[in-house]
Amino acid sequence: MSALYLNPAQKAVLDAGFAATFGGAPERYFSAPGRTEIGGNHTDHQRGRVLAASINLDAVAIVNKNDDGAIRIVSAIKAGDTYKDMTIELNAFDMDLREEEKETSLALVRGVLKGLKDRGYEIGGFNAYITSDVFVGSGLSSSAAFEVIVGTILDGLYNDMKVSMVEIAQIGQFAENVYFGKPSGLLDQMACAIGGLITIDFADKANPVVNKVDVDFEEKGYSLCIVDTKGSHDDLTDEYAAVPYEVKKVAEFFGKEVLREVDEAEFMANIPALREQLGDRAILRAIHFFGDNARVAEQVAALADGEFEKFLGMIKASGDSSYKYLQNVYTTKDVQAQNVSIALAVSEKVLGDNGVCRVHGGGFAGTIQAFVKNEFVPTYKAALDNVFGPGSCHVLKVRKYGGMKIM
């Protein structure tokens, strides 16, 4: 379902869900997409570069403003082959951080409220019925899509859509870092909020540079596929958090805050001392950062120059680097559960010269990304669905729009 093409039948289903939950008819409709990271795996939290796209799996919210200051959210969010119901209720003006709410959607809502209030924007109560096709724990940024849609609702209801999408993204990151407790970079929220195929340079933390990239993958003869390996990011916050923690330790060795500020040649010259002080994994993860950060600029240049085969080669190189150096393909908590590894191995065997694949997003579980020749998509889809179940392989399109009010 795409909110941008909400047909009368879809609207009727959503309106009925709202009426059954809250009574009456909704006043406003909002949407926010999921995202796929195409270049720059785990580079954002080190103020690096990324290439990312919003996708046509999205969250849709139908909303009524209320005057009692309460926020009530009832949602049906895709979780594997089914939808998981979630209910949230809180006072919009109660923004206190609660440790017991860490890693919950309730914490994200409080964080978005706090972020908007601290920037001088208005907040207040609303009733919302949300449906989302962005699978939970999949690596398509279901949490960022949720943060962005909550921020966009509050923007539309109380601020006349005057909050920039960059601010919505930054507020979402604040909610995720501080209230939810996950030390993510800004990639997920920016891709969901701004929309389209974009490249972002995070060198200036307060003012990331965003540029649109004009390319149609299908016109180049390839389809963007995402395979749901049926593993979840749930309970993997510690694994994810270890990545920025370890590479920041490398940066601190050189008296810097993040790896973007470290000279690569100086880093390479100091590997013996770094190994003694930090161990090997932090060094390997830093090597990945330097390589993938540089690759983003090369990917964007290749697309601009029409060198699509070169672009595909860098997709593969990024995936190889994530597997060998970043090491975010499976969790060390359960080495027998390697859904992503299996998906990559099967994909490479099946694809041959018909495409490339890689882990994307946070990693450790969830989904993989593949660029597949258009004519080979049915064969690839059948092979991956055979391994992970019918409907596991999704052929997606880049959605041109980010967080938005539909009507």
Which structural domains are found in the chain, ordered by start? 3-213+400-405 (3.30.230.10), 218-396 (3.30.70.890)
pLDDT by 10s per residue, the chain, length 407: 444 556 677 788 788 889 988 988 888 999 999 899 999 999 999 999 999 999 988 888 999 999 899 999 998 765 455 445 678 899 999 999 999 999 898 999 999 999 999 999 999 999 999 888 776 655 566 888 899 999 999 999 999 999 999 999 999 999 999 999 988 888 889 999 999 999 999 999 889 999 999 999 999 999 999 999 987 656 788 998 999 999 999 999 999 999 999 999 999 999 999 999 999 999 999 999 999 999 999 999 999 999 999 999 999 999 999 999 999 999 988 899 999 999 999 999 999 999 999 998 889 988 999 999 999 999 999 999 999 999 999 999 999 999 999 87
Residue 394: strand, helix, or coil:
strand
User: Do the Cβ atoms of 182 and 161 come closer than 8 Å?
Assistant: no
The position carrying tokens 């008296």 is: 255
Residue 22 to residue 83: CA distance in whole angstroms = 20
DSSP H helical ranges for 195-337:
237-253, 264-269, 271-278, 280-304, 308-321
